[in-house]
Amino acid sequence: MATKPKAEARSADPRGKIVDALMELAREQRFEDISIRDICEKAGVSLADFRDAFPSKGAALAGFIRRVDRAVLERDVEELADEGPRERLFDILMRRLDAMAPYREGLREVSAWLRREPAAAWAINPAVMASMRFMLEAAGIEVEDGAVGAIKLQGLALAWARIVAVWLDDEEPGLSKTMVELDRQLTRGERAVKGVDRLNRIAAPLRALAGAALEARRSRRERSRRSRERKDAPARREEGDLGAPMV
């Protein structure tokens, strides 16, 4: 069983104290029953401190995700330089699980809460996707901007949720079940990425054609508008002359 984070390792800043308190409370009760006042009391901060740090309890949970990101990104990745992209990502995600290990009991409840509250899972999804982008960067894998990149990040975020679900119930010291699931999800992800890239290449000419058609339509509308303005200009000038004030 994962051990509780040591008191001396707890953060001294209000944001860190709030995150610590949230994860400790999640070990003890249902996540939806945790109030902001409960977190403040546990953290030893005021409501004003909480408001300055986070706009909501969900935002504090996103703060925990960023904490784990930092723990992973601060570690040296030079030892992974000789590995392939897939192997590097495997190691990076295992490092992520290592960073999450002290909070495992609280994360069990967080995971259960997200299953009970789909809206909450949807709200936290952008933070998870941002986290996955940095995990890929740490592994030396760049993700393009735009729709294709977003699809890949979303796919990895969903795969990560499945990996964490296995990890939470994996009591084996070597986390063999977790590593098997991680390997399986990365294999599926590779196939999915190849499919997305193939569809993107196929769709590229169609997108270019659609963009050209849209631009042509805009140009026609603009020419039509300018033509109407030129035709109406003499009439507007005459109306202006008739309506001029007498002196």
Return the pLDDT at 145: 79
pLDDT confidence of 69, banded at 50, 70, 90? very high
Q: Is residue 15 part of a domain?
A: no
Domain membership of residue 33 (yes or no) is no
Read off the pLDDT band of 141 (50, 70, 90). confident
Alpha carbon distance 63, 65 (integer Å): 5
- The per-residue pLDDT of the chain, averaged, comes to 82
Residue 237 is encoded by which pair of tokens? Answer: 């000038």
**Taking the model in full, what pTM does it have?**
0.73
Query: How many whole angstroms separate alpha carbon 207 and alpha carbon 102?
Result: 48
Rounded Cα distance between 157 and 54, Å, is 23
Residue 2 lies in a domain: no
pLDDT of residue 182: 93
Q: How many structural domains comprise the chain?
A: 1
**Residue 192 maps to a domain:** yes
Token pair 């495992």 in the structure block, residue: 104
- pLDDT tens, position by position, 148-190: 888 888 889 999 999 999 999 999 888 999 999 999 998 887 7
Instruction: Reduce the DSSP state of residue 173 to 3 states and report it.
Output: coil
pLDDT at 26 over 80: yes
pLDDT at 239: 54
Tell whether 162 is covered by a domain. yes
Domain-embedded: residue 73: no
Decide which of 20 and 227 is more confident. Answer: 20
Least confident of 35-39, 42-46, 213-217: 213-217
Q: In the structure, what pLDDT confidence band is assigned to residue 32 with cuts at 50, 70 and 90?
A: very high
* CB within 8 Å of 1: residues ≥ 6 apart: 104, 105
Orientation angle between helical segments 118-138 and 147-168, nearest 10 degrees: 100
For the stretch 83-127, pLDDT in tens is 888 898 999 999 999 999 999 999 999 999 999 999 999 999 999
32 in Cβ contact with 26 (< 8 Å): no
Domain with 196, as residue range(s), is: 79-219
Residue 98 covered by a domain:
yes
Say what the pLDDT of residue 238 is.
56
Domain assignment present for 173: yes
